[in-house]
Amino acid sequence: MTARLAHKRILLGISGGIAAYKSAELVRRLRDAGADVRVVMTPAAQEFITPLTLQALSGNPVHLDLLSPAAEAAMGHIELARWADLVLVAPASADCMARLAQGLANDLLSTLWLATRAKLAVAPAMNQQMWAADVTQDNLALLRARGVAVFGPASGSQACGDVGEGRMLEALALVECCAEQFETGRLTGRRVVITAGPTREALDPVRYLSNHSSGKMGFAIALACVEAGAQVTLIAGPVALPTPPRLQRIDVISADSMLAASLQAAAGADVFVATAAVADYRPATVAEQKIKKTADVIQFELVKNPDIVAAVAALPEKPLVVGFAAETENVVAHAREKLLRKKLDMIACNDVARADIGFQSDDNALTVIWPEGHCVLDKASKTQIARELVGLMADRLQDVMEGRVDK
């Protein structure tokens, strides 16, 4: 369970109800499982538990107001909506569920609920008679129909003295429910190879040519593939990122070593995803000793590196090959050209001239192109974008497996 929630961003919405006291324990347990937690409280929730308690337990400021200039300046509600991987409302009171089902946006929590592309979940908590009321059940059905996960409620004795259904699940059970949200099973039994990060091409023992890739996009895709049930090999250039859980990581430095690792790992793989920013050229010779600073002008001869993704796409038993395109102009047109020239099944392009996405950023925005179509993935966290891309890859793989399209 712990591994599945490591580094997941959980936005916990707390609405007004006596079960709000259990949310404190829930925050602790989510953090124990490795999740980053931010808390949003409705005004009614603050009657039951203080923001200070939740701030101390979550390690982050608690978000209370929609219209507070100070809060908006710190982390605006749209930014918060984008930040989350999962929005869980626990406890979700009858009133809160009604407002979420109707799409009202009259406080911070209900506005975030509408503004996010993250997974959505509620943990209902209310008196058993309120839970059984037709209108509550209708609202619940509406939420479920829109893909909202419903955790619980449990049955038992209630704070009001009644006995019946309507108790919020205990913290540990809710943590398990959250973890389950990140398992899609779309790539169960599939083997996926991903390249990530930059390559370094040595000039001498201390200097190299490289680029700004941090590896974040490739690592997010690797994690999304693990969550989708795949067996993942992550071939990483030199990056400063921890290894995501439950995958095999192979560290490489240069394009040549990335090529060798890729060809070996791609044999028998179902999908190959080339997120790495491979240096297109390398110095023709590598000086044995540190180059001395004697000349005013120095020239280097560069030779073309092998094209890794094209080499994998040319394998006789090739996997489904998904490339990336990092462009600064005519993004989609250049990506289409690469899709055809490198004989890829799919290509995801991003505008790396933008400072808010692409290299280094925690966010990205992609246009994903395949021979018969395309899909725009609007700006979101790389974690979220990776999940959406993995969904498209799984669709494509299924089309290939069921003979609807060729690789």
Could you list the active site residues?
160
352 counts as binding ligand PMT under rule CB under 6 A: yes
324 counts as binding ligand PMT under rule CB under 6 A: yes
Among 220, 323, 217, 221, smallest CA distance to 272 is for 323
Of 28 and 343, which has the nearer Cβ to ligand PMT? 343
254 counts as binding ligand PMT under rule CB under 6 A: no
Of 192 and 277, which has the nearer Cβ to ligand PMT? 277
124 counts as binding ligand PMT under rule CB under 6 A: no
Binding mask 192-231 for ligand PMT (x = CB under 6 A): ---x-x---------------xxxxx--------------
Of 40 and 312, which has the nearer Cβ to ligand PMT? 312
Among 123, 182, 121, smallest CA distance to 152 is for 123
277 counts as binding ligand PMT under rule CB under 6 A: yes
CB of 291 within 8 A of CB of 205? no
Stretch that binds ligand PMT, among 84-92, 113-121, 157-165, 318-326 (CB under 6 A): 318-326
261 counts as binding ligand PMT under rule CB under 6 A: no
Of 136 and 275, which has the nearer Cβ to ligand PMT? 275
Alpha carbon distance 76, 318 (integer Å):
45
Instruction: Indicate which single residue of 326, 346, 392, 393 sits in contact with ligand PMT (rule: CB under 6 A).
Output: 326
- Residue 310's contacts (CB-CB under 8 Å, 6 or more residues apart) are 341, 342, 343
Burial of 28 (0-12, 13-18, 19+ CB in 10 A): middle
Site size toward ligand PMT (CB under 6 A) is 28
Q: What are phi and psi of 404, to 5 degrees?
A: -75, -30
Instruction: Indicate which single residue of 40, 209, 261, 274 sits in contact with ligand PMT (rule: CB under 6 A).
Output: 274
CB of 39 within 8 A of CB of 63? yes
Residue 45: half-sphere exposure toward Cβ, Cα within 13 Å: 33
| Residues 166-195 interacting with ligand PMT (rule: CB under 6 A) | 195
Q: How far is the CB of 195 from ligand PMT (least distance, A)?
A: 6
Interface residues with ligand PMT (CB under 6 A) are: 195, 197, 213-217, 255, 274-278, 280, 305, 307-309, 323-326, 338, 350, 352, 358-360
